Structure 1
Amino acid sequence: MVLVIPLLTHGAQVTPHDSARSSPVKIRALLPLGSAIAATGLLAAGMAAPAQAAKPKFAIGAKMAKASGAKDIVKFWTADGGAHFKAAKSASVDWKHVPKIVSTGGPSADGRPTVIPAIGAEKKAAGKSKNLNLPKTTGVIFFVGRDGQEYFCSGTSIQSKYHNVVATAGHCAYDTDHDSNNLDAWVFVPGFYDGKAPWGVYVGKQAFVHYDFNVYEDYDRDYAFVTVYNGLKWDWSKDRAVDVGRLGDNVGGQGFAYNLPLGQKVLSIGYPGGPHPDGDRPFSGWRPKWCYGTTSGRVVAKEFKVSEQIAIKCSMTQGASGGPWLLKYKSASRLGYISGVTSLVADFDGNDRIDANTSPYFDGETAAVYKAAAAVWSGKLPL
C-alpha cells in the first residue's frame, strides 16, 4: 500500500551529467513523493509528427470502484465540510533501504520525439499572457490506505478519446506491495484549493500501469493513467449527487509528449505537503505549487530499480507525487504537453532541504500505456 514514510537522512553520491560533464555533488535524501498550443509549435522545433508507439507492454488494473458505489465515495470525501480531505496525509511508498544515487548520461529514446495536442488545442494556436495562470487540469488525488488513513497525491487531466483520463505517478494509483491497484475510495479533484472542489469529484474506474511497474516495482515506469467516471457534486440541501459531466469537458486535458531529448524546459505542478529532511514544513498540500526547471541527468537509484529517470531543480516535497511536467505550457490557454510526472525527490547539496524532483523518462512504452487508457470509456454514474 502507498504509505507515508520517514525522511531519509543518510548520505549518498550523485553525479549529474547533461550535455557537458559536471562535478559529483552530495545527496542527502531521495524519497518517492506522495503535488491551446498548436502541435506545429513543437514540430517547428524539430519534433516529428506522431510516431508509432512501441509494442504495448502494460498491465490493466481491476476496477478501482464499481459504478454502483461511486456515489457513496464522493459523499464520503465531501461530508462534514470535507473532513476527510483535511485528514489526508501526503502519500509515498514504503522503503527499507537507503538508495544510492548516481547520474550518468541520459535515457535513450525508442523513437522520434512525438507530441499529442491537448483537448481544445488540436487545430488552434494559443494567445499570449504576461502572467502565469496555473492549469485547471491539475488537482489532488485522494485515497484510503489499507491502514484506514486518508492519503493524497497530485495528478492532472490529459487528452483522451472520452475526456476521462488522469495522469499521475504509478505509486499513486497502484499498490505494488500487495499486487493490487484497489486503493480504496480513489478520487481526483481538479482545481483543488483550500478544501474546495470547484469542478466536482471524479471517482477512479480503472488504472493502467506499465508491466514492469506492476510486476517488478520498477520506478523507471512509475506512471499511471487512470480512467474516471463522470464527476459528481453533492447537493447537501437535498442530500443527493449531481452529475457535472466529463472531466475533460469541464477542465480540459493536457497534451502528451514523449521521446524528448534532455534539456527541455518544463513547468512542474503539484500539491506538496510533506516536510523537508530538516523537519521544516513550508507546504500545506491544500494549494498548488510549481517549479520551472530544465530536464537533465539520468538518475539511478537501485532500491527503486531506477536507472533512467530524469531530474529538474525543484523544492516541492511529498504530496507533489504524480504532478505533471508540462512542456511548452501557455498561460493564455493553460495548456501544454505532459512530458513527465513527479516520482522522487532529492536533496542534492546535502543541506537537509529538498532541491530536486525526478520523473520517469516518457518513451514509446509510456505512450502505449497512455493510449490504452485514452481509448477506454467510463460513462455516467447511476444517481
Structure 2
Amino acid sequence: MKRTLAFGGLVATAGLLAAGLAAPAQAAGRTWANDNLASTNSAALQVIKYWRGERASNFENATPYAVETKVAAKHVSKGGPSADSKPGVVPAIGDEKKSSSTSKNVNLPKTTGKVFFRGADGRPHWCSATSVQSTYHNLVATAGHCVYDTVSNKATMDYWVFVPGYYQGKTPWGIYVGKTAYTHYDYDVYEDGDRDYAFVTVYNGVLPSWEKRRLVIKDVGRLGDNVGGQGLAYNQKIGSSVYVFGYPSGSHPDGNHAFSGKTLKWSYGKTFAATAPAIKAEELQGVKSSFTGEGSLGSAWLLQYKSARRLGYLNGVTIGVSDTDGNDRYDTSVSPYFDGETYGVYNAAKNNWSGKITAQ
C-alpha cells in the first residue's frame, strides 16, 4: 500500500450493522503488533532536542505529511464493513459516568492536536491525532501511516511526538514523546488498509527550554490529565452521525486552497460503508467532508460527541479523502471500520505505563 490519501470511486454499500452500545468484548486471539519509538529516557531527550533545538524549532519547519493527491480512476466494488462481535464502547476520561449535558455550539476538543515526526525524506512532517482513554492517561490514536513508515519499509517514523492544541510553534499543554506504537498485525506485516490505525503510548508531557546552552526539561504530567481523552467505540452501526476533527491543509484537485492546516477544523455527517480496492482495503467507512488530504490524515471521528464536555467516542481516523462525483473537489473522508479487532489493538496498548522524561 502506498502513502496515498486520494481515493477515486468510493462506492456506498447497502446494509446497516448491529445497532446500540454495549460493554466491550475482547477480540479472540492476538491480532496486534508493537514497535518501540523512544524506548529510553535518553532517546526521548534526543527527540525533544530535535524538535526544540537551541537555535531553531523543527515544529515551525514541519509540513503536512507528503501525499499523492491525484484521484485514481473510478472503481466498481461491492460489500462493506461488517461487525465481528457485539458493539462496545470505552468511556472517555472524565465521562465514565454518562452525562446528559448538551450544547448548541461546537466546542473544539482539547484532546486533538498534531503528531510530528521525521519522514522517509529526512524532513519534519505532521498529521492529526487525538488523546484517548487509557489506564495511565497516556495514549494517542492516529492513522497507521502517521506512525509506520510504509515508504522506506523501516518500522516506525523517527522523532515521533504529539502536541495537543499546537498552534504556530506554541505547545500549550506540552510535548509528548511517543514510547511504543501498537497496530494491527495485518497492517504491521501486510500494510492492510482496513487496519490503517495506531495507538501510541507517550511519556509525560514536557515544556523544554534552553538556559545557558543547557536543555531544561519541565515535567507537566500525563496527557489525559491535561487535556482529557476520548472514549472508543467499535462494531457500531453504519449510518451514525460523527464529527471529524483535524487539521486539513493543501488544495483540492482544482487548485482551490481551502485549508491552511494552522487551526483545528471540524465537519459533520453520517457514515456510510465504502470500499477502495486501490489501497488494498475492503471494509472502510466514509463520511461526507470537504477536508483536503494533506494534514487531515489521522483526524478523529467522534461518535456521540457532547460539545459541552468536548467528549465522545473515537470511531474512526481519517486515512484518505476522495472526490466521488468527479468535480475536482474532495467531498468524502474515509476511515477503517472500527471492529472488535480494533478494540483488541487498543486493549493491548491501554495498560502500559510510559513514565517521565528526566534530564540525564
Report the TM-score, using the length of structure 1 for normalisation.
0.85
CA contact (8 A) 1:194 1:287 kept: no
- Of 305-314 and 79-88, more deviation after overlay is shown by 79-88
Distance 1:99 1:212 in 2: 26
Distance 1:263 1:81 in 2: 50
- Alignment of 1:300 with 2:300, yes or no, is no
1:107 corresponds in structure 2 to 81
Distance 2:161 2:316 in 1: 21
After superposition, where does 1:121-140 map in structure 2 within 5 Å? Answer: 121-140=95-114
Distance 1:93 1:171 in 2: 11
Cα distance 1:351–1:68, how it changes in 2: closer, same or farther (>3 A)? same
Q: What are the Cα deviations for residues 158-213 of structure 1, in whole angstroms up to 9, with x where unaligned?
A: 00111111000001001123443331111100011233210001011111011111
2:142 corresponds in structure 1 to 168
Cα distance 1:81–1:169, how it changes in 2: closer, same or farther (>3 A)? farther
1:157 corresponds in structure 2 to 131
Q: How many residues align?
A: 354
Cα distance 1:14–1:249, how it changes in 2: closer, same or farther (>3 A)? closer
Distance 2:2 2:137 in 1: 27
Paired residue type of 1:285: G
- Of 93-102 and 232-241, more deviation after overlay is shown by 93-102
- Alignment of 1:376 with 2:352, yes or no, is yes
Distance 1:245 1:193 in 2: 20
1:280 corresponds in structure 2 to 256
Distance 2:158 2:235 in 1: 34
- Of 159-168 and 80-89, more deviation after overlay is shown by 80-89
After superposition, where does 1:31-50 map in structure 2 within 5 Å? Answer: 46-50=20-24
Report the TM-score, using the length of structure 2 for normalisation.
0.91
2:319 corresponds in structure 1 to 343
- Alignment of 1:196 with 2:192, yes or no, is no
Match of 1:177 among 151, 156, 159: 151
Paired residue type of 2:357: L
Shift of 1:80: 6.9
1:67 corresponds in structure 2 to 41
Which consecutive unaligned segments of at least 5 residues does structure 1 have? Answer: 21-44
Match of 1:212 among 165, 186, 189: 186
Q: What are the Cα deviations for residues 136-176 of structure 1, in whole angstroms up to 9, with x where unaligned?
A: 10000110113221111010000011111100000100112
1:231 corresponds in structure 2 to 205
2:59 corresponds in structure 1 to 85
CA contact (8 A) 1:2 1:91 kept: no
- Secondary structure (helix, strand or coil) at the match of 2:155 reads coil
- Of 282-291 and 50-59, more deviation after overlay is shown by 50-59
Paired residue type of 1:216: Y
Distance 1:122 1:156 in 2: 18
Distance 2:304 2:167 in 1: 24
Shift of 1:87: 1.8
CA contact (8 A) 2:37 2:158 kept: no
Paired residue type of 1:280: N
Shift of 1:236: 3.8
Distance 1:82 1:157 in 2: 27
- Alignment of 1:313 with 2:288, yes or no, is yes
Shift of 1:352: 1.1
- Secondary structure (helix, strand or coil) at the match of 1:101 reads coil
Distance 1:123 1:81 in 2: 47
Paired residue type of 2:288: K
1:26 corresponds in structure 2 to none
- Secondary structure (helix, strand or coil) at the match of 1:337 reads strand
CA contact (8 A) 1:103 1:297 kept: no
Which consecutive unaligned segments of at least 5 residues does structure 2 have? Answer: none
CA contact (8 A) 2:147 2:181 kept: yes
Shift of 1:77: 1.8
Q: What are the Cα deviations for residues 284-342 of structure 1, in whole angstroms up to 9, with x where unaligned?
A: 212111110110022222x3111111100011121111111000101111110000000
- Secondary structure (helix, strand or coil) at the match of 2:194 reads helix
CA contact (8 A) 1:205 1:229 kept: yes
Paired residue type of 2:107: N
- Alignment of 1:243 with 2:243, yes or no, is no
Distance 2:130 2:313 in 1: 11
Identity over the aligned pairs, expressed in percent? 54
CA contact (8 A) 1:93 1:171 kept: no
Cα distance 1:203–1:14, how it changes in 2: closer, same or farther (>3 A)? closer
CA contact (8 A) 2:120 2:152 kept: no
CA contact (8 A) 1:179 1:214 kept: no
Q: How large is the Cα RMSD of the aligned pairs?
A: 2.5
Paired residue type of 2:139: V
2:241 corresponds in structure 1 to 265
Cα distance 1:53–1:278, how it changes in 2: closer, same or farther (>3 A)? same
- Secondary structure (helix, strand or coil) at the match of 2:220 reads strand
Cα distance 1:59–1:135, how it changes in 2: closer, same or farther (>3 A)? same
- Alignment of 1:53 with 2:27, yes or no, is yes
- Alignment of 1:17 with 2:23, yes or no, is no
CA contact (8 A) 2:204 2:354 kept: yes
